[in-house]
Structure 1
Amino acid sequence: MSDFLQVLDSRTGEKYDVPVSDNFVLAADLAQIKGPVSGGKKQQKSGPENLQKLRILDVGFQHTACKQSSITLINGEEGDLRFRGHRIQDLFHKHNYQETIFLLIWGHLPTKEEAQHFSDSLAAVASPPKVVLDAVHALPHETDVYSLFLTALSAYVGADKQMITSRHKAESTYHNNMHNTDAALIRAIAYVTTATAVAYCHKYKLPIGEPKSTGTLVENYLRMIGRPDPTGSIARSIDKLWIIYADHEMSNSTAAFLHVASTLTDPLSCVIAMAAAGSGPLHVGALELCYEGLELLGTVDNVPAYLEAVKAKQFRLYGYGHRVYKAKDPRATLIEELMQEHKAAIQANPLLQIAVEIERQANTDPYFVDRNLKMNADFYGCFIYTALDIPKDIIPALLVASRCGGAMAHWREAMQSPIKIWRPIQQYKL
């Protein structure tokens, strides 16, 4: 017999064998356990209709898996991160971002021909349509970049005829239709990257540059924002950073993406949900708070007093700690490699000097060491953008763009699987 839990229900005296597979139990198996809602007294045999299924209360979904997936594996105990079985270190050192997201989406690394076709397909839809430009230009330049970014994404949904019509058809446009799914996810990835460029250019009153048909996502982003990169070093650094951020299993924003995807809507509407989730101060939005905290410190001389205030719970240290990792986040080691490449720029930037000093002191302070509080790689990597002289207010949108390939992998997986709309339950409590 397979592994199982033996459950004795003290309320009813009933015994149950609950199957266990890979240390998971099915909630449906637990629901076979029935008992009186009030508890405390055994249910009379004459009233089985009063028995109710056992339910699980898991606030914040800390102990509950909402789906099965073969895309990304995180072993937080050992500090291991793999995409489709490939170690993140190998992808970082041997491949580029577009090859990495191809792997995430289609399950294998591309051949030379597949990589070229994928790149050409992305570049073919990189130029923003007039309706997207008009929607963003209708907002004041003072509007924050993330709001401009969300506006551009919404306008893109309205500009894509298939995405519009998919919401008005009884038959799903994408579910079990890999032709439509693959074409739509390619468009969505390109749209999101271009939306970041459109938002940036409007914010800083810059003309939008023309993408090249031979350019990669990152190269065309730099070209559209008018950023010269004669040696290609900026594009290479961002490309490597995007590999690190390409997917991270079931993050809050990915869960929001898939929650919306379960309704069978278009992929870009799902991205908008993902981006909205990321805007909160407990997710990607914490990045801005992290930068603001660094600016308030002003100088590295204030770091010791600041950390003491954090330990006294007078301040929150944004950008530290991660729910998943108990060992060192493998992405942090790769980010350290990138930071070494830009060491001179980091040392010349007062803000980054403060960040590096906070990390140095926190890594040797028993308070942080004992609690395994290390700088979150999601924030640590953003210092690379600052070293490349990219304004901090566009970085949250760039994080969404870099995660979009992974999100589309999850979407494609969902479109090939039986669909059940995500509808959690609650416990009503007076």
Structure 2
Amino acid sequence: MGRPTETQPDSLTVRDNRTGKTYNIPIVDNAVTATAFKGMTAPKRAGERDENETEKGLRVQDKGFLNTAVIRSEITYIDGEAGVLRYRGYPIEQLALQSSHLETAYLLIYGSLPTGEQYKFFENEVMRHTVVHSDAEGFFRSFRYDAHPMSMLTSAFAMLGSYYSDANPSLQGQRLFTKGDKASLAIMDRQIYRLIGKATTLAAMAYRVRQGRDFVTPPTGLSYTGSFLYQMDHIGEENYVPNPVLEKALDVLFLLHADHELNASCTTVLQTGSSLVDPYSAIAAGCASLYGPLHGGANEAVIRMLISIGSPENVPAFIEAVKRREKTLSGFGHRVYKTSDPRSFIVRKTADEVFKVTGKDELLETAMALHDAAMKDEYFIKRKLAPNVDFCSGLIYRAMGFPLDFFPVLFAVPRVVGWLAHWRQMMLQEGGVKIWRPRQIYVGPGKRDYVPAEQRAAVQGLGKTPSAVEHGGMSKRSMLASFKGKTKL
């Protein structure tokens, strides 16, 4: 890095006022490389902490990845200001209207829309891999009857990894998925077929456990979402076929949820996958990330919010409580979209089609009253809090009869596609895979010498000592009992 010249117009000029030095950093695709700042060193000042590591170069701080690009990607483009979402260049509106979830999965993973023959091959492979090992039944039966389905699904993805030693770089060599040759790609594709195919089966098994029903072998001749509905709902009826409107609606929702760039769960998959772990473990990690209420649990939070509001006449009071920060408004606003979420319009249209079959959800009027009130209120307009994809999708799932705690599962199943697309891209990226190891800004104590216990002063304060918890049942009785070796407090 030297002083900028007239021949370097695409660059950033930085003057370090600590040293007076000027640096020239190239700008490529409207981005600068964070490691370029590492060369901006300065002498340690008097009294400055050693832990600042000033002489080792400048670090870039970005709490929560608000403006840090960690990978170069060709998969999904989002313009949050304009409300644009494209998969591999195709507007989400066009795909939702004309494509299907599996065809879009092909697009996301392999980069182009398939021909009829290519799609038939891909669909056949995915559907052929929907069946799971018979041991999976015992695995699911080992959960408590009231276990959360996302806990079961997360565990089940990890469980799959133990069955496929051919997919484990720890056993087959760390370059198993990074070679990019024909054999390596074939192994990679087999895991992609397995994970997409078995996602619906594992999710349906988690559902059936909660219902206390036997598991259903994946059927033949049905679509991806049709097979999913069949596995959840079939209880022996002859020639059982899911309702086509619900099947199509679920397919559209799957397509809309298939990918959304580097969201929390996708980033988790890539962070985990960067260690070259098997893809099943990476997908399980992504599933765990999606479980959180700030991510995959958002549509469930919308329904709980609407239930708490109760009826349209209670909306104004709720709106005022949100402004006072006494209540949380779910289903509005987005980390990326600052105007409208393009998926929300498609979901509303899909909701209309579903309600024609199921009847309108009793919460719909409350939802619409909340929508209209928020969209007209200056408080929400100034903060750019428009409805997102979660606002109506929960109403559709509820109308279709899915329990609230199953909503995140209906998010995770299609998102497996996006996770795999980004994982595959990282495995095949130029220059190979480097393990993700973010830096930190250390602000803790400097060097301290160990002090024997009898010489220490007690540190008190909320959060500075372990919390006392109440014990009951067997633990309480055991603490009151006498026995050899009992610890005295």
Question: Does the alignment reach a TM-score above 0.5?
Answer: yes
Q: Does residue 267 of structure 1 match 2:274?
A: no
Distance in 1 between residues matched to 2:119 and 2:156, nearest whole Å: 28
Secondary structure of the residue that 2:105 maps to in structure 1? helix
Aligned counterpart, 2:443: 429
Alignment match of 1:412 (pick from 401, 410, 424)? 424
Aligned counterpart, 1:44: none
Distance in 2 between residues matched to 1:37 and 1:374, nearest whole Å: 48
Conservation of the 8 A alpha-carbon contact between 1:346 and 1:352: no
Conservation of the 8 A alpha-carbon contact between 2:81 and 2:338: yes
Alignment match of 1:244 (pick from 246, 251, 256)? 256
- After superposition, the C-alpha distances for 1:273-322 in whole angstroms (9 at most, x for unaligned) are 11111112222233333322222222222111111100111111122211
Letter in 2 for 1:56: V
Report the CA distance between 1:429 and its aligned residue: 0.3
Alignment match of 1:397 (pick from 394, 409, 431)? 409
Q: Does residue 320 of structure 1 match 2:329?
A: no
- After superposition, the C-alpha distances for 1:238-271 in whole angstroms (9 at most, x for unaligned) are 1011111111001011000100111111212111
Distance in 1 between residues matched to 2:258 and 2:290, nearest whole Å: 15
Distance in 1 between residues matched to 2:160 and 2:391, nearest whole Å: 28
Aligned counterpart, 1:45: none
Conservation of the 8 A alpha-carbon contact between 1:211 and 1:220: yes
Alignment match of 2:176 (pick from 165, 173, 177)? 173
Which structure's CA Rg is the greater one? Answer: 2
Secondary structure of the residue that 1:78 maps to in structure 2? coil
Aligned counterpart, 2:124: 120
Report the CA distance between 1:367 and its aligned residue: 1.0
Conservation of the 8 A alpha-carbon contact between 1:123 and 1:214: no
Distance in 2 between residues matched to 1:141 and 1:403, nearest whole Å: 26
Report the CA distance between 1:392 and its aligned residue: 2.0
* Residues 67 and 140 (structure 1), Cα distance of their counterparts in 2 relative to 1, 3 Å cut: same
Distance in 1 between residues matched to 2:400 and 2:44, nearest whole Å: 59
Report the CA distance between 1:335 and its aligned residue: 1.1
Alignment match of 2:163 (pick from 149, 159, 164)? 159
Conservation of the 8 A alpha-carbon contact between 1:36 and 1:50: yes
- After superposition, the C-alpha distances for 1:102-157 in whole angstroms (9 at most, x for unaligned) are 00000111111111111111111212322222111011211122222223223222
Q: Does residue 93 of structure 1 match 2:97?
A: yes
Secondary structure of the residue that 1:401 maps to in structure 2? helix
Conservation of the 8 A alpha-carbon contact between 1:208 and 1:226: no
Identity over the aligned pairs, expressed in percent? 32
* Residues 380 and 167 (structure 1), Cα distance of their counterparts in 2 relative to 1, 3 Å cut: farther
Conservation of the 8 A alpha-carbon contact between 1:288 and 1:393: yes
Distance in 2 between residues matched to 1:230 and 1:52, nearest whole Å: 63
Conservation of the 8 A alpha-carbon contact between 1:5 and 1:17: yes
Aligned counterpart, 1:46: none
Distance in 2 between residues matched to 1:289 and 1:37, nearest whole Å: 50
Letter in 2 for 1:334: I
Report the CA distance between 1:272 and its aligned residue: 0.8
Aligned counterpart, 2:152: 148
Aligned counterpart, 1:277: 289
Q: Does residue 111 of structure 1 match 2:115?
A: yes
Conservation of the 8 A alpha-carbon contact between 2:13 and 2:23: yes
Structure 1 gap segments, 5+ residues each = 42-48
Number of residue equivalences? 422
Conservation of the 8 A alpha-carbon contact between 1:156 and 1:191: no
Distance in 2 between residues matched to 1:93 and 1:214, nearest whole Å: 23
Distance in 1 between residues matched to 2:44 and 2:245, nearest whole Å: 63
Conservation of the 8 A alpha-carbon contact between 2:351 and 2:392: no
Distance in 2 between residues matched to 1:36 and 1:281, nearest whole Å: 45
Alignment match of 2:312 (pick from 275, 282, 300)? 300
Distance in 2 between residues matched to 1:380 and 1:36, nearest whole Å: 56
Letter in 2 for 1:54: L
TM-score by length of 1: 0.93
Aligned counterpart, 1:58: 62
Alignment match of 1:384 (pick from 389, 396, 403)? 396
Conservation of the 8 A alpha-carbon contact between 2:149 and 2:405: yes
